[in-house]
Amino acid sequence: MVRPGLAMTLVVIGCSVSEPSANRELCVEVSAHVEACTGTPSPTPTDCDEDAAAELLELSCEELDAGKADLFASALCTIGLLRHCPVPECTEALPADHDFAADDCADLIGLEGCAACDYYRCREAQSEGQCGNDGYYQGFGARYCLRYAQATEPTMSPEGQLWSASSRRCLIESLDADVADTPVCEDLIEAGYQTHASCYQQTGFCELSLSDVRRVVSTLETEDVDLRETLEIALDCL
């Protein structure tokens, strides 16, 4: 749902409008505990769920050793790094073996929640480019659509949830209107990313609470960082 390049912008916005979190020391303590037990550097989130953090501090190193990747990911999830949280299966989605050949992908735009993410699957199936798991449709559009709908959105405030749903629909509508059915894979990536700045502005990203902004940021994979187009959004918000 969010362009990789927006990560730095969201951090800039958050730092510019707030003081450090009141539970910052708790975040640091939890991150240090995870790192000491696992031997793996743990990024310190800007905010933590206090109850989850307290429970995490009570876990022994045996429960958080480096060999237990699932526990390590769960630990990071509980302290607010949502990119480590599991994404529940979308039960409203079409079956994995659904044949999109005869479908009109635009008909999927009006679906609610994670079901709307089938739009990206439909476009990929009907694209002559067949860009695959590393392409925009599958590797970015569908992946983040599902992650935000299933893992991030439920943790947001009512206003944040409304923004998430609105931005999801805007991104899909913009892609449907602006991108040809069979684009070159490289061109598709650029065209797809270009929709994010305008959709975020139109759907009220700048009015979100700081906690919701942090949730958006913490959902991004660390490697999905690109500085292009970030200043435009940052300046508008500031």
Q: What type of residue is 101?
A: A
What CA–CA distance (Å, rounded) separates 66 from 54? 20
What CA–CA distance (Å, rounded) separates 119 from 92? 13
What CA–CA distance (Å, rounded) separates 170 from 238? 23
Q: What is the pLDDT of residue 224?
A: 66
Residue with tokens 């206003």: 159
**Contact assessment for residue 34 and residue 52, using Cβ atoms and an 8 Å cutoff:** no
- Chain centre distance of CA 19: 24
Successive 10-residue mean pLDDT values, the chain, 238 residues? 42 38 71 73 62 75 62 71 87 92 88 94 81 82 93 94 94 85 70 77 86 82 54 54
Q: pTM of the full predicted structure?
A: 0.73
Helix, strand, coil shares, percent, the chain, to 5: 65, 0, 35
What CA–CA distance (Å, rounded) separates 135 from 182? 13
Helix (H, G, I), strand (E, B) or coil at 140: helix
* φ and ψ of 183, to 5 deg: -80, 160
Q: What is the pLDDT of residue 4?
A: 41
**Closest C-alpha among 176, 174, 180 to residue 195:** 174
Helix (H, G, I), strand (E, B) or coil at 91: coil
The token pair at 152 is 């991030």
